[in-house]
Each structure stands twice: as structure tokens, then as C-alpha cells.
Structure 1
Amino acid sequence: MTLPTSPFVLAASAEMLYLDSPFTERVVRIAERGFQVEIWDWSAKDLDALAATGATFSSMTGYLTGNLTDPDGIDALLSSARTSLEAAARLDCPRLNLHGTGLDDKGLPVRPVDVVTPDMWLTAVDTLSRVAELGEDSGRVFTLENLNLAVDHPGTPFARAADTLALVRAVGSPHLQMNLDLYHAQIGEGNLVELCRQALPYIGEIQVADVPGRCEPGTGEIHYPAIARALHNLGYTGVIGLEGWARDDSDAALDAFRDAFTTSVPVLPGHDGTADTTAAAVSS
């Protein structure tokens, strides 16, 4: 069977699909469907078994503990980022994902923050600059993911897409990019196409799921084919990862995801905004 062609690199999270299977088998099943694979906490995985699957790994968690602003937390984050880079080398994984602070097993911040002060912003930029240097030394990219505060991650500092974009822009390194999660952004900010335009020069990856429910495209309110069309017209050709649950079964979820992000969506005449968007984003 010939699969439809996408202008993007499509990946899917093994943490959220084929949950009836052992983890390594989940990776195999996703790869067999033609997708790259994303994982979270690598420390709980058999890396040798994952490497032996032959799957292409797109992204993994880039730290195990720590945060961007407290001295002890910064040391812990940098130390675990170095260890994460060693794990990434074993899987040949190019991107390592970060958040504004360490999260527990329920996705809640280990140390919730009510107010992010100016000093915290400056310290976070400095910490992320050091993270970017680690990425440069290893030839890999760290990505900073936006989250939502209303549903999944209350109390997380630097959670909004506007926050993560500001930090990535301030660091100004190709080894620190933005993981633009459109599920989280829809809950927290909306206006997704314009957000993609503004973030375009800084995006290392885009993650998707529908709202509400965090399942595959077509199960909620986000019209992902329109977003796919906008991204294609903007010239984006990078990774789009499904980080969502399967509403019914994982095969159907992957089919819906692929359908939403294929070249079956035509380019609209006069809507190629790559040059203008990049200029606007850099100057804003």
C-alpha cells in the first residue's frame, strides 16, 4: 500500500499509543506505520532494546530533574541534561525536550510558581544558554516546550507559548529551539495559525493533539487540515509529532493524524507568507 506523502516529518509518541503493548513493541508498531518515534523519560527504558528496533527516534526528554531558576535546580538540570545527551547518542535522537521546571508523574510542577519575577526570567535565559552550549558541543538540539496552565500543568513557570518563544529568542542559538505544542497553546492562548507565523524561525518541532480530550486530530475543535495548509504555505517542513491519546484505537489515531498533515491540502494562491512572516517575527 502506498502511503500518502506529507510535506512534514511525522512522528508519534510511544508513551500515548498502543498502550496494551510493552513499550518496545509500541515503538516497533509506530515505526512500522512509517512514523518516527518520540519518547519521554528515557531513564525508565531499555535503551539497547529500543536501539535494536531500528526505529528512527525524533525526540526524547532532555532532563530528569531540576529547573531553570534555582541554583540547586540549575545544577541538577544541567547535570541531567548531560546524561540525557549520552542517552540520545545511543538512540541517535537529534532533539531533547525541556520544560520550564521539573514535572512529576502527573505532569505537575515539582516546585509550583505563582509569580515569575524579572530575576527569574534573566536567570532562565542564562540557564538555557548553558543548555544550548551543551547541545552545540554534542551536535544536538534542545527544545523548550510550551504547556497549559488551565488543565494539565497548573503552577508551571514559563508555560505559555509566548513565554517559551521569548526565552528561545533571547538565547538566540540554533541549539535551543521551540517545541510548539498546539494542544497546549489552544487551551492557553488560541490563535494558532498566527502563533505558528510568529514562532516559525524558532521552531524545532511542532506537537499536536485535539482539544478537548488530547486525542488525535478530528476528535475536537482544532481544524488541523487548515493548520497544515498554513504551515505548508509558510514553508515549514520539519517534524510534527502526535502527542495525544487514541480515542478508539491507535491505528485509527495514526491514520487520522497522517490524513490531517498530508499534501492533499492544496497551497492557496498568494498565501505563501514565509519571507514576510520571518521578517515580522524577527522584528517584533
Structure 2
Amino acid sequence: MTFTLAICSEMVYTELPHLERVERIHERGFAAEIWDWTAKDADALVATGARFTSMTGYVTGDLVTEDGADDLLRTAEESIGFARRISCPSLNIHGTGLGEGGIPVRPVEVVTGDMWLAAVRTLSRVAELAEQHDVTYVIENLNLEVDHPGTPFARAADTLALVKAVGSPHLRMNLDLYHAQIGEGNLVELVRRAAPYLGEVQVADVPGRCEPGTGEVRWPFVAQALADAGYDGVVAMEAWASDPSVDGSDRALEAFREAFTV
């Protein structure tokens, strides 16, 4: 196995309390990932024995407005404090804050040149903060068509361009292949282009956002393309179990493991 396999604890074993989800993920040999940390207990997470590979790395803020950038940097520093307590090396960020149901807090119709320049400046500050604390920020692509309409810098081509523009090893790309399949497709070529800039890869099948094998993507082929491109980092299943029962989540994890064992 060339990848570190992780599971988003927010989306599986949904019948169980969150800490029990993390424990079950850990027992099955996967690392765990979390979203919003503000309502979670760091000591309790550590006590599960789980390895944490990623968490949301901000609470509020955006990339393009002066106040939003300052807010993002402030809550990013708070997030780093929590990440260090659970030994999580990677923190996730988006083109703007996401509200209820994943709708952007500051939706936009057109991303202007000035917004691009502002985003690069803000992400450069994020990278500097990450370097100071020896962590890595990853910026995740999203899809506009189904889940996150109006999010700026959402497509994989956008996040890759921003990571290249900042040019720091402390800012990488979180290539979410579920979102990319909906918004852009051509996953293998995308993997090949993005591989040198990747900090994480996330997967869920399309349609439905469930485990590999429930949709249209030929995941073992994509996994081999990742390996052939030289990527050996974290691949995380950020997907619902198609059967939401505990046993169904167990099967979803095993389907993911089989798809990404190369």
C-alpha cells in the first residue's frame, strides 16, 4: 500500500456518537479526519488512539476582503493550536467560509482579477503562519453544480493555480476527486498535473457521494494513476456509506481500502 488511508469521521457510522466513530475507524486500521473542531474535545480525541491526518483549519473568514482575511488568519491560528494538541499535521481551507449546507458565506458570480490577487496575498499569509507552526495548509477544490454554488476559487484548476502562485511547501492542494468529477472530469489527467502540488486527495463516488464502487468512477484505475504519478500521501474517503448502518459503514471502509490498495 503506497497511500496513507484515512476516513472522514463526520460521514460514516452516523448512528454512533462521534468519538465512537473515531475509535471504530482507528480499530479498522485507518487514520481519521474531522471537520469543525470547535465543539470537539482534543483530549478525548487523543485518548481514542487514532491518528489524525486532516481537520478544518479555520472557523470564519475569506480570502479576498480585508476584514475576512484578518478573520481567517486569526481563526487559522486558533485552529493550529487545536491541531497541535491532536498531532494533526494538515489543515483544510476553502475559497471562502461555508455556511449551513455547504453554501458559501460570501457567494460570488464572477471572480475578478483583484480577487485573485487578494487570494494569493491571503494564502501567502496562511503559508507563513503554517511555516511558523510547522504544519501544512491544504486548499480544497469544491463543485459548484451540486454542493457549493457560488464558492470562489472552487474548481481544481483554481486551487492548483493558487497553490502554484504562492509557491510554499506549507500550502498544498487538497484534490477532492468527487468534486472534480462533477465539475471537471478527466480525473487521471488532473491527477498527473496536480501530483507535484498535492498535500491530500479525497474521494467519494459520483453520483451520490458514497464509497468507491457505488458510482461511475473506476477508482482502482485512478488509484494506480496516483501511484504512477509518484503520490504516496494521504488519500481520505470523505463519503457517506451507501448503507448508513454500522455494518454498512464497515463495508464502505473495506470497499475504499480495496479500491486504493495498489
Which whole-Å CA distance do the structure 2 matches of 1:39 and 1:9 have between them? 16
The counterpart of 2:46, out of the listed 37, 48, 51, is: 51
The reply to whether residue 167 of structure 1 matches residue 162 of structure 2 is yes
* Local SS of the residue matching 2:239: coil
1:146 aligned to 2:124? no
The residue that corresponds to 1:269 in the other structure is none
Letter in 2 for 1:216: E
Larger radius of gyration: 1
Partner of residue 222, structure 2: 227
- Report the CA distance between 1:105 and its aligned residue: 2.5
Structure 1: where are the runs of 5+ without partners? 1-5, 264-284
Please show how residues 80-119 of structure 1 align to structure 2 within 5 Å. Answer: 80-119=75-114
CA-based RMSD: 0.6
What is the match of residue 66 of structure 2? 71
Q: Which amino acid aligns with 1:252?
A: R
Query: 1:10, 1:201 → 2: CA distance?
Result: 19
Residues 108-129 of structure 1 deviation map (CA, whole Å, 9 limit, x = unaligned): 0011111110000000000000
Normalised by the length of structure 2, the TM-score is 0.98
Q: Report the counterpart of residue 258 of structure 2 in structure 1.
A: 259
Q: Distance in 1 between matches of 2:117 and 2:52?
A: 33
Aligned partners of 1:75, 1:184: CA distance in 2, in Å? 28
Match of 2:174 in 1: 179
Deviation, 1:81, is 0.2
Q: 1:188, CA displacement in angstroms? A: 0.2
Deviations 1:36-85 (A, max 9, x none): 00000000111111111110000000000000001111111000000000
Look up the equivalent residue of 1:80 and give its one-letter code: T
Please name the residue that 1:61 is paired with: 56
Task: Supply the AA of the counterpart residue of 1:120.
Answer: M
Alignment of 1:197-208 (within 5 A): 197-208=192-203
Post-superposition CA distance 1:214-267 (Å, at most 9, x none): 00000000100000111111221110000000001100100100000112xxxx
Aligned length: 258
Q: State the distance in 2 between where 1:18 and 1:203 align.
A: 28
Distance 1:161 1:233 in 2: 20
Runs of 4+ in 1 over 3 A off after TM superposition: none
Task: Identify unmatched segments of 5+ residues in structure 2.
Answer: none
* Partner SS state of residue 247, structure 1: coil
8 Å CA contact retained: 2:195, 2:230: no
- TM-score, normalised by the number of residues in structure 1: 0.90
Distance 1:67 1:24 in 2: 30
Alignment pair present for 1:135 and 2:134:
no
Question: What secondary structure, in the 3-state scheme, does the structure 2 residue paired with 1:42 have?
Answer: coil
Per-residue Cα deviation, 1:186-210 (whole angstroms, up to 9, x for no partner): 0000000000010011000000000
- Code of the residue aligned with 1:113 in structure 2: it is V
How much has 1:166 moved relative to structure 2?
0.2
Query: Which amino acid in 2 is paired with 1:76?
Result: D
SS of aligned partner of 1:60: strand
Taking the aligned partners of 2:39 and 2:161, their CA distance within structure 1 comes to 32
2:6 maps to which of 2, 11, 18: 11
Equivalent pairs: percent with the same residue?
67
Q: Deviations over 1:1-57 (max 9, x none)?
A: xxxxx2111000000000011001100000110000000000011111111111000
